[in-house]
């Protein structure tokens, strides 16, 4: 019987020293070893003519030895030099201090060499290549895996160890996918998959192997998440909020009519709240789509049903803004709201915490400060986190644990394509506000280069003259030597003293004290500042309807979703608004990205495009969302596979929620082994 959990020290070629090195790579067992996938492969199977080699290229050449090895001594170094040629050109091959090579080569014999070649005007030299005699395929003549390494462990050694591991398991790995899936998706056998992902005989072998392993990994993850979500519905006995408390009572007092999307989402939330299971709902909607109002209405229902509500926001500025909105809309109902952020004085904090425990506060709004242990509710029934992608699963769990299975709403303003939402928020139901309140004007967006400086300045002055305010966003707080990027402090200095000396200019960044930041922000809100220069701290939710222009310096440095968030700070009032993207990027992708921003204001379109243009990366903070590390699949590169797999996974779960059927036995085993423990943090 094959034991994949066997310690790696029992694999052939692994002694005590190598065990330590392998451990550094997180390889502890045979299973870890065979799932230590290569970073890429080097094709050492196809030879190139010497004359066709480009300078700096890593290539395979097939050539005849023209000389014997000559030895050149230079101080502590001995250089071994060999001249070879094929029918196109000759090449000098050199090695350093490799004494054993001295008699290796025979004049007139053929060899293959693989290494980096220099081409200096038709004179070729290759340094320290690996080689084989004609007809031998030991170091060359095949496709070779390249692994991420650690100090003191060479490619050759690691490759041999992994090869030994693969030889040990090959033919003995048990199939972990059901036959019906293997057949339908034409997947290759698990044994071949593990062999070829490391040691493919051809590129097509490799692709088949990778497809199968990606499929397996994504299917297991998605199934695990779907099963978890189904499971929650059964076991979490939650709060049944009072059906006699009508959301409509608050809605009637609003100064505007809700959009149809808001109404639909509130219906979904109301239905969930009146069920006796705990709601776990993602509320997604573009910037300005009116998520806050939705959470206020839900909070009303919870409070009137006799429960407390926690609202957690990522910054103090935002928490304070929420407080004002909640008070404005719920104050008349006699509902009490309090703010808890780190800048609250010790004495006030004690009072707040006391009241909270006694149930004298209905709604507590705050930042991470809410997570602290001494924050104790009397009767927490609803938790709302305003995520903007800053809270992870763990933090959500901490706040939720302060209640007894409270209902949970997670608000997110970064529109994520649904496919990804099903992974990142796989344990949540999803509600989408896909409609903006009426009369919102499109924010006119322009991408410009350096030459437009004067025109922009004149335009900003014109708008301020009309009574408006401006944001200027920079990527850095302070100037840095090695980057040609605009910084908040340098720009503020210049603008205060030169460019905008006759205006009220202030700046804001994350390194300032909370109090200072709040002061500046409220001055800006009150219209006492004309131009606010800031880092992305203003990205999150800040609402100043009178601000009608935003200039973003070094726009090429920001992700599209982030630019979209930033831009959402303007166009929040009745005034026509503008966004100027200043950028120095000249790449095609950069131009394409700026074009997207100029063309659309739709966050979902932008995030789809962003995915397409970036291709990969941990942009959405997958780790932060508690998604287990993926060993081979990439959520971004494999998005189309993921879509297909989601359809399959939801069919499977619909048909067999706890994977009890005989045909799904292997799937249950697969996710139990792979994911379950890690997802249930
Ligand atoms: P989000 O949090 O989704 O970015 P907010 O809840 O801050 O958006 O709403 C943005 C602004 O739009 C707020 O000033 C809010 O009062 C207003 N608003 C929300 N819903 C509507 C609506 N249906 N009609 C008009 N204005 C609305
Ligand atoms: Mg908001």
DSSP conformation class of 559: -
Residues 451 and 564 in one domain: yes
Q: Is residue 266 over pLDDT 60?
A: yes
- In the structure, what pLDDT confidence band is assigned to residue 603 with cuts at 50, 70 and 90? confident
Which domain does 520 fall in, by range? 444-600
Instruction: Give me ligand 2 centre to Cα 380, in Å.
Output: 22
Question: CA–CA separation, 325 vs 320, rounded Å?
Answer: 9
**C-alpha to C-alpha distance for 632 and 433, rounded to whole angstroms:** 34
Closest ligand 1 atom, CA of 291?
3
Q: How far is the CA of 292 from the centre of ligand 2 (A)?
A: 5
- Residue that wins the pLDDT comparison between 623 and 664: 664
Q: Is the CB of 414 under 6 A from ligand 1?
A: no
Q: Is the CB of 321 under 6 A from ligand 1?
A: no
DSSP letter at 499?
I
Q: Is the CB of 289 under 6 A from ligand 1?
A: yes
To test the ligand 1 pocket, which listed residue (260, 291, 293) has its Cβ within 8 A of the most ligand atoms? 293
Beta strand segments in 260-322, E = 280-285, 308-312
* Closest atom of ligand 1 relative to the 433 alpha carbon: 3
Neighbours of ion ligand 2 (CB under 5 A): 292, 541
Burial 499-519 (b: 16+ CB within 10 A, else e): bbeebbbbbbbeebeeeebbe
- CB burial string 97-123: b at 16+ within 10 A, e below: eeeeeeebbeeeeebbbbbebbbeeee
- Tokens 């989601």 locate to 646
Is 528 in the same domain as 555?
Answer: yes
Ligand number nearest to the C-alpha of 385: 2
Distance between CA atoms of residues 328 and 253, nearest Å: 11
Beta strand residue intervals within 307-450, DSSP E: 308-312, 337-340, 363-366, 380-386, 407-412, 429-433, 444-448
Q: Is the pTM of this model over 0.75?
A: no
Name the band, by pLDDT with cuts 50, 70 and 90, for residue 388.
low
Question: 312 in a domain, yes or no?
Answer: yes
Residue 439 CA, closest ligand 1 atom number: 25
Q: Measured in angstroms, how far is the CA atom of residue 540 from the centroid of ligand 2? A: 8
Q: Closest Cα to residue 154, out of 17, 29, 7?
A: 17
In a domain, 562, yes or no: yes
Q: Looking at ligand 1, which residue's alpha carbon is closest to its atom 9?
A: 290
Residue 680 above 80 pLDDT? no
Distance between CA atoms of 161 and 551, rounded to whole angstroms? 55
* CATH number (domain holding residue 120): 2.40.50.140
> How does pLDDT run across 151-173, given as a tens digit for each residue?
889 898 999 999 999 999 999 99
CA angle 173, 179, 180 (to 5 degrees): 155
Same domain for 59 and 34: no
Asked if residues 30 and 168 have their Cβ atoms less than 8 Å apart, the reply is yes
Question: Is residue 452 located within the same domain as residue 356?
Answer: no
Owner of token pair 């036995």: 665
Q: Are 17 and 161 in contact (CB under 8 A)?
A: no
For the chain, the domain total comes to 4
Q: What percent of the chain has pLDDT above 90?
A: 59
Do strands 469-473 and 547-552 pair parallel, antiparallel, or not at all (unpaired)? parallel
Is the CB of 258 within 6 Å of ligand 1? yes
> Which residue puts its alpha carbon closest to atom 23 of ligand 1?
258
Work out whether strand 337-340 and strand 407-412 pair parallel, antiparallel, or are unpaired.
unpaired
Query: pLDDT: is 107 or 427 the higher one?
Result: 107
623 within some domain? no
Cβ atoms of 670 and 659 within 8 Å: the answer is no
Tell me whether residue 650 is in a domain.
no
Same domain, 374 and 262: yes
Q: Decide: helix, strand or coil at residue 346.
A: helix
Residue of the nearest CA to atom 20 in ligand 1? 290
CA of 339 to the centre of ligand 1 (A): 21
Claim to verify: residue 33 and residue 111 sit in the same structural domain: no
- Chain-centre distance for alpha carbon 256: 36
Beta-carbon contacts of 143 under 8 Å, excluding residues fewer than 6 positions away, are 41, 42, 43, 44, 45, 199, 200, 201, 202, 203, 206
C-beta of 333 in contact with ligand 1 (< 6 A): no
Look at residue 113 and give its three-state secondary structure.
strand
322 alpha carbon to ligand 2 midpoint, in Å?
A: 8
Q: Let me know whether 36 and 119 are in one domain.
A: no
Q: Check: CB of residue 611 under 8 Å from CB of residue 551.
A: no
Residue 285 CA, closest ligand 1 atom number: 3
Q: Ligand 1 in contact with 437 (CB < 6 A)? A: yes
Residues 17 and 77 in one domain: no
Alpha carbon separation from 65 to 48, 92, 335, 536, 564 (Å, rounded): 17, 10, 90, 62, 62
The span from the CA of 581 to the CA of 540, in Å, is 18
Reported as a single tens digit per residue, the pLDDT across 493-539 is: 888 888 899 999 999 888 888 788 888 988 998 999 999 999 887 76
Kindly state the helix (H) or strand (E) to which residue 60 belongs, with its residue range.
Answer: strand 58-65
Same-domain check for residues 69 and 37: no
In a domain, 195, yes or no: yes
Give the C-alpha separation, 114 to 136, whole Å: 13
Q: Are residues 482 and 566 in the same domain?
A: yes
What is the C-alpha separation between 657 and 362, in angstroms, rounded?
38
Rg over CA atoms, the chain: 31
Cβ-contact 378, 352 below 8 angstroms: no
286 CA closest ligand 1 atom index: 3
Q: Distance between terminal CA atoms of the chain?
A: 32
Compute the C-alpha angle 521/525/530, nearest 5°.
90
Average pLDDT, the chain: 89
pLDDT at 617: 43
With a 6 A CB cut-off, is 259 part of the ligand 1 pocket? Answer: yes
* 633 found inside a domain: no
Our CA angle for 423, 427, 428, nearest 5°, is 100
The tokens for 269 are: 């939330």
- Residue-level length of the chain: 681
Vertex 273, ends 267 and 278: CA angle to 5°?
A: 130
Model confidence at 106, pLDDT cuts 50, 70, 90, reads: very high
Q: 634 is written with which tokens?
A: 């990439």
Both 259 and 161 in one domain: the answer is: no
Question: Residue 627 has what pLDDT?
Answer: 64
Q: What is the pLDDT of residues 291-349, one digit of tens each?
A: 999 999 999 999 999 999 999 998 888 898 899 999 999 999 999 999 999 889 999 99
Tell me which of 262, 288, 545 to substitute to probe ligand 1's pocket, judged by most ligand atoms within 8 Å of the beta carbon. Answer: 288
pLDDT (0 to 100) of residue 176: 94
**Contact between 277 and 231 (Cβ < 8 Å):** no
> Is 367 within a domain?
yes
Ligand 1 atom closest to 289 (CA)? 3
- Does some domain include residue 438? no
Q: Which tokens is 592 given?
A: 């394409």
611 or 494, greater pLDDT? 494
For the record, the structure tokens of 204 come out as 């097509």
Closest CA to 319 of 343, 347, 352, 289: 343
Ligand 1 in reach of 413 Cβ (< 6 A): yes
Tell me which of 114, 141, 168 is where a domain ends: 141
Ligand 1 centroid – CA 318 distance (Å): 14
- Residues 27 and 68 occupy one common structural domain: no
State the CATH number of the domain containing residue 334: 3.40.50.300
Cβ of 291 less than 6 Å from ligand 1: yes
């Amino acid at each position: 019987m094959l034991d994949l959990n066997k310690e790696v020290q029992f694999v052939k070629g692994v002694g005590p020293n190598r065990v330590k090195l392998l451990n550094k790579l997180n390889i502890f067992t045979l299973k870890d070893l065979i799932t230590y996938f290569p970073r890429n492969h080097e094709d050492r199977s196809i030879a190139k003519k010497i004359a066709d080699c480009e300078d700096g290229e890593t290539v395979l050449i097939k050539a005849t030895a023209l000389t014997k090895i000559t030895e050149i001594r230079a101080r502590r170094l001995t250089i071994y030099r060999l001249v070879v040629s094929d029918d196109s050109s000759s090449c000098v091959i050199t090695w350093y201090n490799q004494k054993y090579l001295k008699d290796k080569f025979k004049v007139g014999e053929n060899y293959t060499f693989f290494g980096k070649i220099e081409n200096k005007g038709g004179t070729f030299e290759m340094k320290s290549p690996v080689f084989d005699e004609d007809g031998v395929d030991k170091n060359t003549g095949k496709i070779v895996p390249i692994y991420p390494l650690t100090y003191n462990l060479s490619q050759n050694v690691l490759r041999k160890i992994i090869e030994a591991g693969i030889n040990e398991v090959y033919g003995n790995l048990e199939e972990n996918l059901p036959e019906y899936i293997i057949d339908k998706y034409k997947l290759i056998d698990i044994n071949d998959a593990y062999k070829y992902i490391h040691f493919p005989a051809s590129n097509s072998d490799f692709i088949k192997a990778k497809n199968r392993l990606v499929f397996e990994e994504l299917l297991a993850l998605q199934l695990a998440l779907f099963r978890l979500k189904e499971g929650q519905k059964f076991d979490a006995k939650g709060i049944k909020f009072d059906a006699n408390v009508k959301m409509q009572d608050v809605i009637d007092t609003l100064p505007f009519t809700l959009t149809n999307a808001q109404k639909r989402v509130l219906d979904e939330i109301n239905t969930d709240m009146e069920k006796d299971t705990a709601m776990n709902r993602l509320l997604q909607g573009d910037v300005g789509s009116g998520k806050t109002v939705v959470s206020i209405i839900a909070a009303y229902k919870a409070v009137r049903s006799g429960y407390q509500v926690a609202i957690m926001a990522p910054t103090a500025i935002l928490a304070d803004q929420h407080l004002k909105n909640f008070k404005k809309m719920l104050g008349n109902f006699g509902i009490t709201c309090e703010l808890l952020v780190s800048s609250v004085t010790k004495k006030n904090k004690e009072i707040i915490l006391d009241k909270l425990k006694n149930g004298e506060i209905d709604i507590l709004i705050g930042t991470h400060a809410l997570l602290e242990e001494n924050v104790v509710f009397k009767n927490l029934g609803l938790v709302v986190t305003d995520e903007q992608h800053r809270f992870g699963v763990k933090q959500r769990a901490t706040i939720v644990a302060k209640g007894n299975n409270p209902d949970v709403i997670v608000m997110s303003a970064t529109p994520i394509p649904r496919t990804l939402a099903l992974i990142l928020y796989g344990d949540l139901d999803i509600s989408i506000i896909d409609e903006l309140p009426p009369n919102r004007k499109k924010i006119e967006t322009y991408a410009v280069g350096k030459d437009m400086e004067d025109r922009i300045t004149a335009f900003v002055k014109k708008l301020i003259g009309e009574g408006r305010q401006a944001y200027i966003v920079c990527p850095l707080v302070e100037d840095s030597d090695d980057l040609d990027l605009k910084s908040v402090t340098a720009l503020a200095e210049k603008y205060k003293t030169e460019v905008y000396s006759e205006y009220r200019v202030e700046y804001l960044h994350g390194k300032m004290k909370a109090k200072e930041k709040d002061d500046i922000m409220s001055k800006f809100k009150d219209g006492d500042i004309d131009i606010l220069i800031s880092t992305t701290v203003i990205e999150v939710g800040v609402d100043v309807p009178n601000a009608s222009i935003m200039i973003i310096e070094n726009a090429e440095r920001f992700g599209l979703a982030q630019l979209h968030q930033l831009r959402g700070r303007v166009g929040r009032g009745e005034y026509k608004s503008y966004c100027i993207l200043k950028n120095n990027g000249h790449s095609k992708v950069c131009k394409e990205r700026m074009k997207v921003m100029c063309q659309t204001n739709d966050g979902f379109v932008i995030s789809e495009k962003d995915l397409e243009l970036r291709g990969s990366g941990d942009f959405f903070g997958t780790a932060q969302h508690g998604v287990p590390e993926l060993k081979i699949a990439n959520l971004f590169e494999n998005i189309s596979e993921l879509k297909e797999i989601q359809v399959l996974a939801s069919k499977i779960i619909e048909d067999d929620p706890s994977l009890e059927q005989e045909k799904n036995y292997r799937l249950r085993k697969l996710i139990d082994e792979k994911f379950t423990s890690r997802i249930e943090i």
